[in-house]
Amino acid sequence: MTNQAILGVILGPDNSQRVVISAGLPSSVAALEAEIKTQCKIVTPFRLQFMDPLFGNDFVNLTSIEELQDKATLKVVYTVSQPQDQADSFSFPSTSAADDASSSSGDSTVILASPEYTSSRSSWPDLFPVPRFKFDAEIKLEKAYVAFKENGMLLIPDPKLKSDILEGLIQEVVKHTVYLTDSKFDQVAEALILRHPCLKEKGSPSGYAGWKMSLKYKLSNYRTHLRKVGCPEVCANALKYKPAEKCSPAYDVKRPKRGEVDYCPPFPLGVSEQSLEKIRIELLSDVKKRNNRDTIKGKMNITFSLRRQEVIYDAPMISELQQRWPALFDAAEHEHFCIQKISLKKQSSMNVFFAQDMTDAATLSAIAGTTVGVYVTRGTPGKDFPDVGIIIEGVVILQDLDNVALATAMLFGLFYCFNMSYPAQLRYTFEVIQKVVMGLDPTELSRKAQNLKTKLQ
């Protein structure tokens, strides 16, 4: 008789449940997901991760039931929207929520969210999870591992096995980004030989130099494939999107350079540019209504892909964005979260002050000539407290912020929202904020930023 299996399932922060399967572990991951869905009464689509002892008990995606043992710990990862008890998350609306939002605005437009889009990307992991490869590839690797343990024999993979391994790694990589830095290629290749030590290369100082180079070629070829099928993030770098007078494909390349997660996402399934443009027009009226925050938030979520493609492809002026997307400036933090999946308010630890009198004519003239700035008023008629705000391209973008620390963090987020380059005079300042303070893509620092980081430590 089969012994029962007991699993610990983490459903969210401060929310876990014991799952008892009387017939033992199911024969497949899909069957296990169905059992957990039933016992835990989960209605939202999800995938499972398990606590892997090979990687310091970090959670990695569950791809084979063979990876599980009795009394294992699993984590539910929701692939559409997070449960209400998961704090500090930015929830994308479900179809029903979007329908409620559209009906409350008095329009019959049906807004559909795409589960594939909302779960398409996640931030780069601290430890890259090597996936399970094809069934026959795993058999070959298991045999090679036995030989390696017995006599230290390294495996020279045949072309098909090597192709299967590279394909599996690339499919895991593109869950996070399609543009890897050199250090991230190192992480992927190193994780491979740690998971499968029989694949270590003889004569290579690192043991994975050849794998790293092969990964670079494989990802480059895969980006070519993505460009052919119309992936917006890759198409942004195609020659046909460059100005006619510039013939170099490398001119004004608009690829993720600051660790963005959703840099240029595709349109959600079931919608088109025309339908999203209709929702954008509705938002122009919605922002003028009171107590309409939920409706605006839902429509801003749905139109995120349209807004990002417009910002990246057309590079409009800030004043034009204010006219087309007025709600964006009230939801700049949420927009940054969509792109980077990191809360700005939690990161606002910088404290730099600029004091100006907003009623002074000279000050108004200075604002018009300011490219980027944070201001603090000495006093404004009718107000008993100073005003803190942000200036970009001579336009006051945000006002009435709580403090300069928050304004600095919001300014940083606006660079992401508007796909702007850092001002030349402040490039090291913003590099330190991004890579040292916020920890976004922190592995490659300029010499000056590295020297400051060393002194701070």
- Integer-rounded Cα Rg, in Å, for the chain is 25
Residue 326 shares a structural domain with residue 392: no
Say yes or no: 102 and 175 in one domain: no
Which of 378, 370, 303, 289 has its CA nearest to residue 334? 303
Estimate the share of the chain in helix, then strand, then coil, as percent rounded to the nearest 5. 45, 10, 45
- In a domain? residue 246: no
**371/308 same-domain check:** no
CB-count exposure of residue 198 (10 Å: 0-12, 13-18, 19+): buried
Q: Which domain holds residue 405?
A: 345-456
Same domain membership, residue 97 and residue 74: no
Tens-binned pLDDT, residue by residue, of the chain (457 aa): 457 888 888 887 777 888 888 888 888 888 888 888 888 888 777 889 988 887 777 888 888 888 888 888 899 888 754 433 333 333 333 333 333 333 333 333 333 343 333 445 677 787 888 999 999 999 999 999 999 999 989 999 999 999 999 999 999 998 888 888 888 899 999 999 999 999 999 888 899 999 999 999 999 999 889 888 888 878 777 655 555 554 444 445 455 555 666 677 878 777 888 889 999 999 898 888 888 888 888 888 888 888 888 887 778 888 888 888 888 877 665 666 566 655 554 444 333 334 755 656 777 777 777 778 888 876 555 555 677 888 888 888 888 887 888 888 888 888 888 888 888 888 888 888 888 887 777 777 888 888 888 888 7
Identify whether residues 108 and 209 lie together within a single domain: no
Same domain, 141 and 204: yes
432-451 core/surface letters (b: 16 or more CB in 10 A; e: else): bbbbbbbebbeeebeeebee
Domain boundary among the residues 342, 365, 380 is at 342
Q: Do residues 140 and 237 both lie within one domain?
A: yes
- Structural domain ending residue among the three candidates 309, 342, 375: 342
Give the pLDDT score at 232.
80
- How far apart are alpha carbons 326 and 283 in whole angstroms? 8
Asked whether residue 304 is domain-assigned, the answer is yes
* Model pLDDT, residue 246: 47
Residue 252 included in any domain: no
> How many beta carbons lie within 10 A of that of residue 104, not counting itself?
14
Residue 64 within any structural domain of the chain: yes
Q: Assess if residue 254 is contained within a domain.
A: no
423 assigned to some structural domain: yes
Asked if residues 258 and 440 have their Cβ atoms less than 8 Å apart, the reply is: yes
What's the pLDDT at 416? 80
Looking at 323, 342, 361, which one is the last position of a domain? 342
| 65 and 13 together in one domain | yes
pLDDT of residue 402: 78
Separation of alpha carbons 84 and 82, rounded Å: 6
The Cβ-side half-sphere exposure at 246, using a 13 Å CA radius, reads 13
CATH number of domain containing 46:
3.10.20.90
- Examine the domain organization and report whether 351 and 452 are in the same domain: yes
Residues 186 and 115 in one domain: no
- 99 closest CA partner among 89, 108, 86: 108
Q: Are residues 148 and 229 in the same domain?
A: yes
| 198 lies in some domain | yes
DSSP-derived pairing of the beta strands 355-356 and 73-78: unpaired
Question: How many contiguous H segments (helices) and E segments (strands) does the chain have?
Answer: 17, 9
Contact between 59 and 49 under an 8 Å Cβ cutoff? The reply is: yes
In a domain, 434, yes or no: yes
**Tally of domains in the chain:** 4
Please check whether residues 43 and 18 belong to one and the same domain. Answer: yes
For 263, the 3-state DSSP assignment is: coil
Q: Give the pLDDT of residue 310.
A: 86
